[in-house]
Amino acid sequence: MIPYGKQNVTDDDINAVTSVLKSDFLTQGPVVPKFEDSISKYVGSSYAIATNSATSALHIACLSLGLTKGDILWTSPNSFVASSNCGLYCGATVDFVDIDLDTYNICLDALEEKLINCKEKNTLPKILVPVHLSGQSCDMKRIKSLSNEYGFKIIEDASHAIGGKYEGLPIGNCKYSDICIFSFHPVKIITTGEGGMATTNDKGLADKLELFRSHGITRNRDFMHKDLGPWYYEQLVLGFNYRMTDIQAALGYSQLSRIESIIKKRHEIAERYNEILRELPLILPYQTSSSYSSFHLYIIRLKLNKINKSYLEVFKSLKDKGIGVNLHYIPIHTHPFYKSLGFNSGDFPNSERFASEAISIPMYPNLTNQLQDEVVEALISSI
């Protein structure tokens, strides 16, 4: 089976992890701050706070921005459920804005129209979570302009997007957002096994993120109500154990050192796909002029009106031929849990149409030309 994505672990990565295993600290040691500093320098943010997953980072990002019961969070229905679940964790209400059928990111015309309507009803969101699908940035400049007008905060869900750029600058610099979130799951651009990172330029938010990820406990004398001695600490808020270990951070730090070559290789694979597949009855990934994608995913859409097979038949045929295809994503609002909250099929038609046509085909740095040719051959015979 050729998977749609997989990690790339080198001897240098293994040596970095082994070094931590032989050290005095497996967690809460010096490597996590080292990894955080390297991420903040790479993306150009003032602060970076590591967590045990991007889901955890999304959760504490919402908490740090004060999201609570009675508030509203909006995001894209074309994402993994974590992008909306983070609002529910805080007791807030969640809603969605449909996608643009070129970029598959949140549709900004639909966003603006919904903001206008909700302002009249006094139901504006407190937080918007734009999702950079496949590693291509949303139009953050326009989103920031809308946030200035309508008063919502912005958390970029850049789980797919480390190594990508927007307007020539690294995604994660938070020029147009309050907080940006990265994922380091094994199939992502770089990995820590499981892990996430929140970047921000706001010291107050960075302090809150650190507090929420570690039980709400601090030893920082600037924040404590009293100081009884060097052993003393205080719990200030209800936090969580969302810390990253030094083992994970060592892997991430090692992988980050070669991220540029990883992104370059992903673009080479994407360009080769574009060249080979351009005459097939497919819609290939669209790239905006303002965005440089990290190409976490290579998503094709089937032109079903030109294919004498159903989506299911094509998908199953590829699987049967050993191609590990996937769908990114089943629209969040169509899951049974979200239907129980009042959402229905048909609420966000662009996302549903996308999900009825989209297939993620293999994309990872170690995908050789020979393996890529096998993918293409299987695709041609399946449609």
Q: How far apart are CA 108 and CA 142, in angstroms?
A: 8
pLDDT band at 219 (very low <50, low <70, confident <90, very high): confident
Asked if the model's pLDDT at residue 226 lies above 90, the reply is: no
Contact call for residues 124 and 152 (beta carbons, < 8 A): yes
How would residue 352 be classed by pLDDT, with cut points 50, 70 and 90?
A: very high
Pairing of strands 217-218, 234-235: antiparallel
Amino acid letter at 349?
Answer: P
Smallest CA-to-CA distance from 74 within 102, 93, 59, 101 is with 93
Question: What count of Cα atoms within 13 Å lies in the side-chain half-sphere of residue 288?
Answer: 22
pLDDT score recorded for residue 15: 98
Q: Note the Cα 354 to chain centre separation in Å.
A: 19
> Residue 199 forms beta bridges with which residues?
48, 180
User: Which CATH topology does 259-382 take?
Assistant: Aspartate Aminotransferase, domain 1 (3.90.1150)
The model's pLDDT over 138-176, given as tens digits with 9 standing for 90+, comes to 999 999 999 999 999 999 999 999 999 999 999 999 999
Is the Cβ–Cβ distance between 137 and 170 less than 8 Å?
Answer: no
The DSSP line for 368-381 is -HHHHHHHHHHHHH
| Average predicted confidence (pLDDT) for the chain | 97
Among all chains, which residue has been given the structure tokens 């993994």? 80
User: Which is it for strands 196-200 and 47-51: parallel, antiparallel or unpaired?
Assistant: antiparallel
List C-alpha distances in Å: 32 to 4, 26, 163, 251.
29, 10, 20, 10
Domains of the chain, residue spans: 2-256, 259-382
Tell me what the mean pLDDT of segment 9-38 comes to.
Answer: 97
Q: Among 179-183, 229-233, 327-331, 357-361, name the one with the lowest average pLDDT.
A: 229-233
Task: Answer whether residue 224 shows pLDDT above 80.
Answer: no
Tokens 């085909």 found at: 361
CA distance 84 to 96: 9
pTM for this model (two decimals): 0.97
pLDDT of residue 228: 81
**Composition of the chain by helix, strand, coil, percent to 5:** 40, 15, 45
The answer to which of 223-227, 268-272, 305-309 has the lowest mean pLDDT is 223-227
Q: Predicted confidence band at 283 (pLDDT cuts at 50, 70, 90)?
A: very high
User: 4-19: buried (b, 16+ CB within 10 Å) or exposed (e) per residue?
Assistant: bbbbbeeeebeebbee
Strand order in the sheet with 282-283: 282-283, 298-302, 358-361
Q: What is the mean pLDDT of residues 311-320?
A: 98
CATH architecture for the domain at 2-256: 3-Layer(aba) Sandwich (3.40)
Coil vs helix vs strand at 35: helix
232 class by beta-carbon count within 10 Å (0-12 exposed, 13-18 middle, 19+ buried): exposed
pLDDT above 90 (res 65): yes
